[in-house]
Structure 1
Amino acid sequence: MNWLIKSISFIFHPIIMPVLGVVFYFSKSPRFLPRDIIEAKLISLSILTIILPILLYFLLKTIGKTKSIYLETTKERIIPLILNVIICILILLRVLPSNQIIELYFFFIGILISNIICLVLAILKFKASIHMIAIAGVIMFAIGISVHFGKNLNGSLALFCLIAGAIATSRLHLKAHSNTELIFGFFIGLVPQLMVFQYWL
Structure 2
Amino acid sequence: MRDSILKSISFIFHPLIMPLLGVLFYFSKTPRFIPEPVMKAKIFSVVILTIILPILLFFLLKTINKVDTIYLKTTKERILPLLINSVIITLILLRVMTPNEIEELFYFFLGILISNLLCLFLALYGIKASIHMIAATGFFMFAVGIGIHFKININGTIALMMIILGAIATSRLHLNAHTNQELITGTFTGLLPQLILFNFWL
Counterparts of 1:83 and 1:101 in 2: how far apart (Å)?
24
1:29 — aligned with what? 30
1:196 — aligned with what? 197
Counterparts of 2:53 and 2:127 in 1: how far apart (Å)?
26
1:66 — aligned with what? 67
Counterparts of 1:160 and 1:58 in 2: how far apart (Å)?
30
1:76 — aligned with what? 77
Question: Residue type of the partner of 2:64?
Answer: I
Counterparts of residues 1-201 of structure 1 (less than 5 Å): 1-201=2-202
Which 4+ residue blocks in structure 1 deviate beyond 4 angstroms? Answer: none
How far the C-alpha of 1:160 sits from its partner, in A, is 1.0
TM-score if structure 2 supplies the norm length? 0.99
How far the C-alpha of 1:151 sits from its partner, in A, is 0.4
How far the C-alpha of 1:161 sits from its partner, in A, is 1.1
Unaligned runs of 5+ in 2: none
Aligned residues: 201
Question: Residue type of the partner of 1:71?
Answer: L
- SS of residue in 1 equivalent to 2:108: helix
Counterparts of 1:109 and 1:157 in 2: how far apart (Å)?
22
Counterparts of 2:160 and 2:23 in 1: how far apart (Å)?
16
How far the C-alpha of 1:158 sits from its partner, in A, is 0.8
Counterparts of 1:34 and 1:106 in 2: how far apart (Å)?
21
Question: Residue type of the partner of 1:64?
Answer: N
Counterparts of 1:158 and 1:134 in 2: how far apart (Å)?
17
| Alpha-carbon RMSD | 0.4
- SS of residue in 1 equivalent to 2:32: coil
Cα deviation digits, residues 72-122 of structure 1 (max 9, x gap): 000110000000100010000000111000000000010000000000000
Counterparts of 1:170 and 1:130 in 2: how far apart (Å)?
13
Unaligned runs of 5+ in 1: none
Counterparts of 2:85 and 2:164 in 1: how far apart (Å)?
23
Cα deviation digits, residues 116-141 of structure 1 (max 9, x gap): 00000000001100000000001100
TM-score if structure 1 supplies the norm length? 0.99
Counterparts of 2:147 and 2:99 in 1: how far apart (Å)?
21
- SS of residue in 2 equivalent to 1:196: helix
Identity of aligned residues (%): 63
- SS of residue in 2 equivalent to 1:175: coil
